[in-house]
Amino acid sequence: MGKIGDNLQLNPKETIRKNIIRKKPILDREPQYFKGIPLPSWIELSLIDSCNRACTFCPRVDENIAPNTNHKMERVLIDKLYKDLNDIGFNGAFSICGYGEPLLYKDLEYLTNKLGQLGQIEIVTNGDPLNEKKIEKIYQSKVSQLVISLYDGPEQIILFNDMMKKANIPENFITLRDRWYDPTLDYGVKLTNRTGTVSVGNQPETTNYKKRICFYTSYQIMIDWDGNTYLCPQDWQRRVSLGNIMQKTFFEIWNGQMMKKYRKKLINGNRDLSPCKNCNADGQVYGENHYNAFKKIL
Ligand SMILES: C[S@@+](CC[C@H](N)C(=O)[O-])C[C@H]1O[C@@H](n2cnc3c(N)ncnc32)[C@H](O)[C@@H]1O
Ligand code: SF4
C-alpha cells in the first residue's frame, strides 16, 4: 500500500490525461467482428435514473432535463443483454456510469457478476454510498476498476484510501479523480455541453465541431435503465432511441438502420442530425481503430 495521495495527481489536467491513457488499451483494442461487422469495445450502462447530488456542470442539476425518477434496470433486461452479447461472443468492456449514481442501484452485484463473465467492468461513482463493506463487496463481484469522482475536496483522498486500506483491497483497484475545482478550471472535468444541455465553464463553441468526425458510434453505445439505447454518453436529451434491448437483439440495434445512419454521417464529419448538431464533444479521444474498421465497410 503506497502513501496517501500516491494514486492521484493534484492537477486536474494531468488526472484527465492519465485516465485517458489508462482507458485507451481497453477502448482502442483491435476490433472484434461478428458477421463481418466490428463490435463495440465499450458498452455504457445507466442502471438508475437518479442521483443524490446535483453538480452544477451536470444535466442532473436541471429537473426539466433529468429529473430524479428512481427508475431502475430490471434483472430481466440484464439477462436479455447477457444472452444477446453471449450469442455474438462479445468480449469488450462495460462502463457502469450513465445518467445517475450507479451505487444507488441495489442489485449491482447481480449485474456485475453476470456481465463480468463476458468482459471487464468499470464503475464510475461520486463515492458517496461507499463504505468499507460496500467496497469489499464490489471488489469481489467481477468489477475490475472503481473510478471515484472527488467533488468535495482533497480530504476525500484520505477518506477513500483509508477505506481501501481497511478493506484490504489493492490500491490499483480505484482511480481517484480530483473534480472539486471552480469554473475557471472547468470543475476539473473534461467539460462538454452534453448535447446542448449544459453551458457552464469555458466551453468551446458548437459551431467549431459541426464538421468534426466523431468516433463514438463506431466503438461504443449507451444503454439506459429501460433498455433504450442511445448514441453516446453525451446524449442527455434522450429523444431518439436507436432501439430497445427488450424488443430487438443487441446486434440488431448495433447494426440497425438508425445506428448506421448516424455512424455514416459522423464518420464523414457531418454532425447535422440532432442531437449531434448541438454537441461540442471532441469525439476522437478513443475509438480510432473502430472508426477505421467501419470506414472500410461503409
Ligand atoms: C453523470 S456522471 C455519473 C456517475 C457518477 N454519478 C459520477 O458523478 O461520477 C458521469 C460522469 O460525467 C461527468 N460529467 C457530468 N457532467 C459533465 C459535463 N457537462 N461534461 C463532462 N463530464 C461531465 C461526471 O463528472 C462523471 O465523471
Ligand atoms: S455528475 Fe454524477 S454526482 Fe454529479 S449530479 Fe451528475 S450524476 Fe450526480
Instruction: Give 211-223 pLDDT, tens digit per residue.
Output: 999 999 999 999 9
Averaged pLDDT for residues 102-128: 98
pLDDT surpassing 60 at residue 9: no
DSSP 88: T
Give the position of cell 491513457.
21
- Cα 72 to its chain centre, rounded Å, is 17
Average pLDDT, rounded, for the chain: 95
pLDDT value, residue 218: 98
Cα-to-centroid distance, 160 and ligand 1 (Å)? 19
Of 47, 56, 60, 189, the one to substitute when testing ligand 1's pocket (max ligand atoms within 8 A of C-beta) is 189
171 neighbors 164 (Cβ within 8 angstroms): yes
* Interval 261-287 mean pLDDT: 97
Percent of the chain with pLDDT over 70: 97
pLDDT higher than threshold 80 for residue 6: no
Q: What is the dihedral of CA 207, 210, 214, 217, to 10 degrees?
A: 110
Mean pLDDT of 237-248: 95
Contact status, residue 26 vs residue 287, Cβ threshold 8 Å: no
pLDDT tier for residue 298 given thresholds of 50, 70 and 90: confident
What pLDDT sits at residue 12?
Answer: 87
The CA R_g of the chain, rounded to the nearest whole Å, is 19
User: CA dist 115 to 80, 83, 93, 179, 247, Å?
Assistant: 11, 10, 9, 29, 20
- Ligand 1 pocket, mutate which of 42, 48, 52, 58 (most atoms under 8 A from CB): 58
Model confidence at 1, pLDDT cuts 50, 70, 90, reads very low
Which ligand 1 atom is nearest residue 149's CA? Answer: 9
Q: What is the pTM of this model?
A: 0.95
Whether 103 has a pLDDT exceeding 90, the answer reads yes
Strand partners, 43: 94, 221
- From 49, 50, 124, 230, give the residue whose CB has the most ligand 1 atoms within 8 Å, as the site to mutate: 124
Please choose, from the candidates 193, 189, 215, the residue with its C-alpha nearest in 3D space to the C-alpha of residue 203. 193
Over residues 95-100, mean pLDDT: 98
DSSP 151-207: -S-THHHHHHHHHHHHHT--GGGEEEEE----GGGGGGS----TTTT---SSPPPGG
The whole-angstrom separation of Cα 36 and Cα 152 is: 47
236 Cβ inside 6 Å of ligand 1: no
- Does residue 35 register a pLDDT over 60? yes
- Grid coordinates standing for 145? 476498476
pLDDT given for residue 20 in this prediction: 96
Separation of CA 149 and ligand 2 centre (Å): 9
pLDDT, tens digit (0-9, with 9 covering 90-100), for 221-235: 999 999 999 999 999
List % helix, strand, coil for the chain (3-state, nearest 5). Answer: 35, 15, 50
Q: Is the CB of 125 under 6 A from ligand 2?
A: no
For residue 2, pLDDT beyond 80: no
CB of residue 104 inside a 6 A radius of ligand 1? no
CA distance 277 to 195: 8
pLDDT at 114: 98
Please count the other Cβ atoms lying within 10 Å of the Cβ belonging to residue 168: 10
Instruction: Give 11's pLDDT tier (boundaries 50, 70, 90).
Output: confident
Output the pLDDT for position 8. 52
Locate 70 and state its grid cell.
Answer: 428512481
Residues 31-47 have a mean pLDDT of 98
> Percent of the chain scored above 90 by pLDDT?
94
Ramachandran angles phi, psi of 200, nearest 5°: -75, 165
- Output the CA–CA distances (angstroms, integers) from residue 141 to 6, 111, 126, 146, in the order listed: 25, 9, 19, 12
Atom 6 (ligand 2) nearest CA: 58
In this prediction, residue 102 has a pLDDT band, given cuts at 50, 70 and 90, of very high
Counting ligands in written order, the one closest to the CA of 192 is 1
Block residue for cell numbers 466523431 = 214
Residue type for position 100: G
Decide whether any atom of ligand 2 lies within 6 Å of the 51 Cβ. Answer: yes
Q: What's phi and psi for 105, nearest 5 deg? A: -80, 120
> Is the pLDDT reported for residue 4 higher than 70?
no
